[in-house]
């Protein structure tokens, strides 16, 4: 049953913090604990997570704000789960940061954290709603408001997140899936085909995987394929819902094709990038970027930079399978961005649709480079022709000559216009114009995509635009920090939804650290004013003890 944390953070007479010496209380007040309590813990919306718990009368949940606070503190201090629980019991700063004053009523163990993460994962799998991601966005907005950060200028970048699984060869993938399926049959007291008994032999894996010469791979792969087909054929109905069978079925579907009556292995080039990479991490996908192969996920980051305060903070992040392009990630980011007026991105984020979406949202977008064939420097670009978007036609050329005939093809979004010969032949831009001479006229034709691309390419040479492009380079430090400080490539769980929980907490830890650093530098320490309160409570307790009648 869901119950909101009833504790309001008021000190108890018997609380150990109350009886600490003044200099210890002062040290506590000057630590990271009060800002965390004031700006993270107190702003956690517990009601958001009520859907994770039963609505009927039952044992109440552990306080949600304490659990979320612990998960963030875990990433902030680079602790394991065991170290986090140990700190909860032995570090008064943790109790202070989480508003725990009567610790005997707040028993939390390793299973409590694990069960909470499991609830978050299951809920997102069933509904598609990332509750913790929503909370991180809410807490980040709160930090921005408290510090008064200006988020009008932002930049974005994406990074690959390695899945917590081994990079398998095709041979090893087939062998592993077959082995797990054969073992599942054996564990459920089902008959294992004679041809698959070798999977239980001690040296079989070494013989198939590590002692195989390159010229032997095709023959062994064919034998493993026949084993897989046999395992699927003999599979009893009660095992067809197991993850082992689902992996086997998926493997055959993605790696093979039917040719007449036979099932043949696909060519490597014909295997989709979202195919099964490792049965222990079925959500992980494959992507080749900059000549390097990655198995895992991609994380898109939008960072706002306040130059006046010399502080940056991640205002939006999205984790997806790594087969999504930067242009798709950029489109998703634009849908969610608020309060941003300038957005600098890498050229891979550019698409005609993204450029138009940014314009519609009042965001001035800039791109460091744009893929595709460039307009020659001495050529008139498509963006220099005037367009009436409501009528969907070219209204004039760069020299303000009006075409005598225009048309637009909605399917390909192509503009076409015809200009009189006498207008074009006397034009000083004739040699550099993209118009083509016909027998009776000059014609111009270009797509909306080409027009938008020429517009941004022309701006790249502009000094002010180059400054915006150079501004984007600063965001590349975020992936490096998440890798080296927060160990984002070493998440100790498997699966897309499970790993998102860890990534959300790492992003929140990064943002809080940036916030705390700025507040401390600016002399705006956000304290809970508990030092004075504790001193007052201590004096009151002493007075009550002195005033108590003698026995």
Confidence of residue 527 (pLDDT cuts 50, 70, 90): very low
Task: Find the range with the poorest average confidence among 181-190, 350-359, 478-487.
Answer: 350-359
Per-residue pLDDT tens over the stretch 493-518: 988 999 999 999 999 999 999 999 99
Say whether pLDDT at 367 is over 90: no
Q: Which residues contact 224 (CB under 8 A, 6 or more apart)?
A: 171, 174, 175, 178, 208
Sequence ranges of the domains in the chain: 16-151+505-541, 170-276, 291-373+461-488, 382-449
Q: In whole angstroms, what is the distance from residue 486 CA to residue 509 CA?
A: 9
- Name the residue with higher pLDDT: 546 or 31: 31
Percent of the chain at pLDDT exceeding 70? 88
- Calculate what percentage of the chain has a pLDDT beyond 90: 53
DSSP 523: T
Summarize the confidence of residues 86-92 as an average pLDDT: 88
Q: Does residue 216 have a pLDDT over 60? A: yes
Pairing of strands 342-345, 153-162: parallel
* 68 has pLDDT over 60: yes
Using pLDDT thresholds of 50, 70 and 90, give the confidence band for residue 8: low
Distance CA 419, CA 101 (A): 81
Tell me which of 354-358, 416-420, 539-543 is least confident: 539-543
* pLDDT score, position 550: 53
Residue reference for tokens 């949202």: 361
**DSSP assignment, residue 290?**
T
Q: What is the DSSP letter of 201?
A: S
Q: What is the pLDDT of residue 9?
A: 55
- H or E segment and range at residue 294: strand 292-306
Read off the pTM.
0.77
Residues 6+ apart with CB under 8 A from 409: 416
Residue entry with tokens 């489109």? 331
> Residue ranges of the alpha helices (H) in 288-351?
326-336
Strand partners of residue 265: 256
pLDDT at 537: 47
Provide the pLDDT for residue 363: 93
Is residue 106 predicted with pLDDT exceeding 70?
A: no
Mean pLDDT within 325-351? 90
548: exposed, middle or buried (Cβ count in 10 Å: 0-12, 13-18, 19+): exposed
Judged against a pLDDT cut of 70, whether residue 539 lies above it is answered with no
Domain 291-373+461-488, CATH: 3.30.420
Other CB atoms closer than 10 Å to residue 476's CB: what's the count? 12
Write down the residue that tokens 């530098």 correspond to. Answer: 521
Instruction: Report the number of secondary-structure helices (H) and strands (E) in the chain.
Output: 19, 14
* pLDDT recorded at residue 61: 86
Check residues 515 and 373 and name the one with the higher pLDDT. Answer: 515
Say how far apart CA 411 and CA 169 lie, in whole Å: 43
DSSP 139-183: HHHHHHHHHT---SEEEEEEEEEE-SS----HHHHHHHHHHHHHH
| Confidence label for 441 from pLDDT (cuts 50, 70 and 90) | very high
Average confidence score pLDDT of the chain:
86
Spell out the alpha helix ranges (H) of 18-155: 22-29, 33-39, 64-76, 81-90, 92-97, 110-127, 131-147
Most confident region among 77-86, 209-218, 283-292 by mean pLDDT? 77-86
**Nearest residue to 136 via CA among 74, 71, 85, 83:** 71
**Other beta carbons within 10 Å of 537:** 19
Residue 528 confidence class, pLDDT cut points 50, 70, 90: very low
pLDDT over threshold 90, residue 23: no
Q: Which of 2-16, 169-183, 448-462, 474-488 has the lowest mean pLDDT?
A: 2-16
Q: How far apart are CA 423 and CA 61, in angstroms?
A: 79
Closest C-alpha to 312, from 204, 424, 156, 443:
156
DSSP 210: I
Determine the average pLDDT of the residues in 122-135: 95
Point out which residues pair with 445 in neighbouring strands: 416
Model pLDDT, residue 163: 85
Q: Is the pLDDT of residue 455 over 50?
A: yes
**536 membership: H or E segment, kind and range:** helix 530-547
Tell me what the mean pLDDT of segment 307-320 comes to. Answer: 95
Mean pLDDT over residues 243-270, rounded?
Answer: 89
Q: Tokens in use for 376?
A: 């020659």
pLDDT class for 307, splitting at 50, 70, 90?
very high
Asked if residue 319 has pLDDT above 60, the reply is yes
Q: How far apart are the first and last CA of the chain?
A: 46
Does residue 119 register a pLDDT over 80? yes
With tokens 């698959």, the residue in question is 196
- pLDDT per position as a tens digit, 376-390: 556 788 888 999 988
Give the length of the chain: 551
Question: 217: closest CA among 291, 268, 166?
Answer: 268
pLDDT in tens, 403-426: 999 999 988 889 999 999 999 998
Residue 82 has pLDDT above 90, yes or no: yes
What is the DSSP secondary structure assignment for residue 235, as one 8-state letter? -
CA angle 516, 522, 525 (to 5 degrees): 55
* pLDDT of amino acid 252: 94
**In Å, how far are 41, 423, 429, 434, 450 from 379, measured between CA atoms?**
59, 18, 9, 7, 14
pLDDT (mean) for 10-23: 68
Q: Are 304 and 153 in contact (CB under 8 A)?
A: yes
| pLDDT mean over 520-549 | 53
pLDDT of residue 268: 86
**CA-derived radius of gyration, the chain:** 31
**Residue 406, pLDDT score:** 94
């Amino acid at each position: 049953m869901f119950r909101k944390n009833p504790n309001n953070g008021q000190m108890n007479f018997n609380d150990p913090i109350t009886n600490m010496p003044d200099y210890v209380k002062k040290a506590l007040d000057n630590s990271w604990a009060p800002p965390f309590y004031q700006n993270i813990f107190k702003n956690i919306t517990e009601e958001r997570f009520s859907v994770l718990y039963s609505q009927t009368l039952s044992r109440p949940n552990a306080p949600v704000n304490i659990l979320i606070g612990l998960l963030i503190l875990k990433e902030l201090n680079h602790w394991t789960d065991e170290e986090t629980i140990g700190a909860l019991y032995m570090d008064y700063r943790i109790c202070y940061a989480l508003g725990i004053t009567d610790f005997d009523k707040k028993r939390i163990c390793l299973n409590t954290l694990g069960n909470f993460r499991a609830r978050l994962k299951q809920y997102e799998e069933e509904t598609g709603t990332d509750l913790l991601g929503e909370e991180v966005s809410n807490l980040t907005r709160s930090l921005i408001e408290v510090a008064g950060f200006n988020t009008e200028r932002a930049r974005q970048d994406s990074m690959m997140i390695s899945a917590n699984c081994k990079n398998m060869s095709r041979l090893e993938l087939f062998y592993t899936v077959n082995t797990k399926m054969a073992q599942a049959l054996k564990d459920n007291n089902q008959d294992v085909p004679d041809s698959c008994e070798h999977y239980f032999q001690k040296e079989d894996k070494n013989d198939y995987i590590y002692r195989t010469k390159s010229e032997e791979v095709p023959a062994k792969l064919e034998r493993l394929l026949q084993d897989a087909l046999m395992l699927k054929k003999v599979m009893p109905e009660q095992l067809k819902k197991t993850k082992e069978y689902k992996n086997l079925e998926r493997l055959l579907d993605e790696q093979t094709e039917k040719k007449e009556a036979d099932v043949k292995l696909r060519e490597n080039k014909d295997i989709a990038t979202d195919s099964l990479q490792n049965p222990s991490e079925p959500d992980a996908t494959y992507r080749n970027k900059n000549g390097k192969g990655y198995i895992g996920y991609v994380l898109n980051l939008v960072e706002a930079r306040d130059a006046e305060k010399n502080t940056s903070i991640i205002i939006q992040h999205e984790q997806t399978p790594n087969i999504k392009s930067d242009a798709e990630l950029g489109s998703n980011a634009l849908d969610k961005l608020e309060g941003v007026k300038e957005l600098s991105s890498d050229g891979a984020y550019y698409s005609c649709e993204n450029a138009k979406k940014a314009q519609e949202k009042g965001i001035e977008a800039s791109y460091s480079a744009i893929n595709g064939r460039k307009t020659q420097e001495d050529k008139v670009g498509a963006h220099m022709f005037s367009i009436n978007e409501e009528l969907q036609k070219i209204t004039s050329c760069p020299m303000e000559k009006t075409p005598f005939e225009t048309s637009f093809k909605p399917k390909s979004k192509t503009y076409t216009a015809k200009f009189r010969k006498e207008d074009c032949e006397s034009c000083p831009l004739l040699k550099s114009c993209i118009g083509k001479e016909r027998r009776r006229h000059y014609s111009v034709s270009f797509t909306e995509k080409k027009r938008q691309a020429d517009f941004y390419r022309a701006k790249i040479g502009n000094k002010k635009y180059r400054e915006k492009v150079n501004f984007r380079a600063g965001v590349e430090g975020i992936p490096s920090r998440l890798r080296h400080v927060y160990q984002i490539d070493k998440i100790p769980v498997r699966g897309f939804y499970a790993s998102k929980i860890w990534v959300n907490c790492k992003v929140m830890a990064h943002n809080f650290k940036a916030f705390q650093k700025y507040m401390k530098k600016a002399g705006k320490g956000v304290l809970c004013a508990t030092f004075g309160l504790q001193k007052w409570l201590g004096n009151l307790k002493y007075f009550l003890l002195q005033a108590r009648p003698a026995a």
